[in-house]
Amino acid sequence: MAACGLRKAVLFRSLWRSVQGKRSACWVMSPSRHESIGGENTQRAGGRGGGGAGGIVWAAIGFSLFGSTDEERRDEAQRKEEEIILLLKNAKMANLAYVQGHLDHAEKLFKAAMSFMLSGGMPQDDNAVIEMSLKLATIYAEQSKVELAEHGFRFCMESLQEKLQRDEEAEPTEEQQQQRKDSRLLLGLCFDSRARYRASRLQLGGAERDYREALQICGGEQGDTHPQTLVLMSDLATVLDLQGRHDDALLLVQHAVELSRSVGHPDLQVLLGNMAGILLHTGRLEDAVRFYQEALILALQAKDKEAVNAIQEGLKEVKKKEEEQKKKKNKEEGD
């Protein structure tokens, strides 16, 4: 398979999730504890101080009002309220632009929101800052700004790892335990995002390592049958397949599909499509067609256009392989 074909094979399972904003929603938890910055699909985890951006800004309001006259307090409160509204608007517009693929615009808005948050005293390793930094890294990856993308992924992961290691030294409260879980899930999302980036550049060894890290975190925090855990199994299987390790890949994706059927995975069509592709590469064309057809039915029912397109491409490849085999057989019989 050509390099372009390899990239399509890896990306088809992930693009529908990242574009529609589902992937990070599966990773980051505790919606009751932390507000979503901008409210677009992603539940944001809080950092060490807890409470998120809104909590920090309101704390700043309260602190600044001490020692002021009534009129000064009203003016300051009004100014801070306007700043909060601007932050939330920027964050919401940034998320919307990101989901819609307007990456240049999203980049500017994310930078503006991060600048405001940091200038208000939010630490650089707060999960809200790291999540926006991760989105910037994925934007740079899409724009082929390699150095910026790799620096962004590295910053996010190192910041979270250092914070988690530092927080292990103290006996946590219940709230701190939830914050640690949120941080670990965000770290898993970082590994997941960098794995997809590395796979798209055919850095398959690095992608495999990142997927294994993400899978370990997701399975440990959310369970072996969580939808995101099963997606990661499937993604890892695809990377193994691209490395020529077809038997290992098939065992892993079969396990993911079996678990997905047992729990009613909402995106079973994607996992079935992955398994069909691996079967295709092992030469089991009839089995590949069978699973592609099942995946296609589910994708059509779910109105999952990207999965439909990818599955149809897979069926075309099966047909091409069958024709090649037929020509080879006819030639051998003629000789």
pLDDT digits (tens, 9 = 90+) for 291-306: 999 999 999 999 999 9
* Predicted local distance difference test score (pLDDT) of residue 77: 61
Tell whether 122 and 252 lie within a shared domain: no
Number of domains in the chain: 2
Task: Give the whole-number percent of the chain exceeding pLDDT 70.
Answer: 73
Tell whether 104 and 250 lie within a shared domain: no
The whole-angstrom separation of Cα 324 and Cα 328 is 6
Q: Is 148 domain-assigned?
A: yes
Of 197, 221, 245, the last residue of a domain is 221
Higher pLDDT, 71 or 111: 111
Tell whether 258 and 312 lie within a shared domain: yes
Tell whether 71 and 214 lie within a shared domain: yes
CATH of the domain at 113: 1.25.40.10
Tell whether 193 and 325 lie within a shared domain: no
* Sign of the dihedral defined by the CA atoms of residues 211, 45, 95, 269, in that order: positive
Tell whether 205 and 101 lie within a shared domain: yes
Tell whether 62 and 209 lie within a shared domain: yes
Tell whether 78 and 190 lie within a shared domain: yes
The answer to whether residue 237 scores a pLDDT higher than 90 is: yes
* Sign of the dihedral defined by the CA atoms of residues 270, 272, 274, 277, in that order: negative
CB 126 within 8 A of CB 48: yes
Q: Is 211 domain-assigned?
A: yes
Least confident stretch, 92-96, 125-129, 178-182, 323-327: 92-96
The answer to whether residue 149 scores a pLDDT higher than 90 is: yes
Helix ranges restricted to H, the chain = 3-20, 22-27, 52-65, 70-100, 103-119, 127-142, 146-167, 174-200, 204-222, 227-242, 246-263, 268-281, 285-302, 305-334
Q: What is the pLDDT of residues 159-171, one digit of tens each?
A: 999 999 988 877 7
CB 137 within 8 A of CB 156: yes
Q: Is 23 domain-assigned?
A: no
* Predicted local distance difference test score (pLDDT) of residue 174: 87
* Predicted local distance difference test score (pLDDT) of residue 12: 39
Q: Is 19 domain-assigned?
A: no
The answer to whether residue 190 scores a pLDDT higher than 60 is: yes
170: left (phi over 0), alpha (psi -120 to 50) or beta: beta
Tell whether 211 and 141 lie within a shared domain: yes
Q: Is 26 domain-assigned?
A: no
The CA-atom distances, in angstroms, between 69 and each of 62, 64, 76 are: 14, 11, 10
Q: Which of 182, 191, 132 is nearest to 158 (CA)?
A: 191
Residues with Cβ within 8 Å of 70's Cβ and at least 6 positions away in sequence, in order, are: none
Of 221, 252, 286, the last residue of a domain is 221
Range of the domain at 197: 33-221
Q: Is 172 domain-assigned?
A: yes
- What does the block give as tokens for 251? 């065992």
Tell whether 214 and 231 lie within a shared domain: no
Of 189, 221, 253, the last residue of a domain is 221
* Predicted local distance difference test score (pLDDT) of residue 54: 43
Tell whether 78 and 215 lie within a shared domain: yes
Find the mean pLDDT for residues 314-332. 89
Tell whether 52 and 160 lie within a shared domain: yes
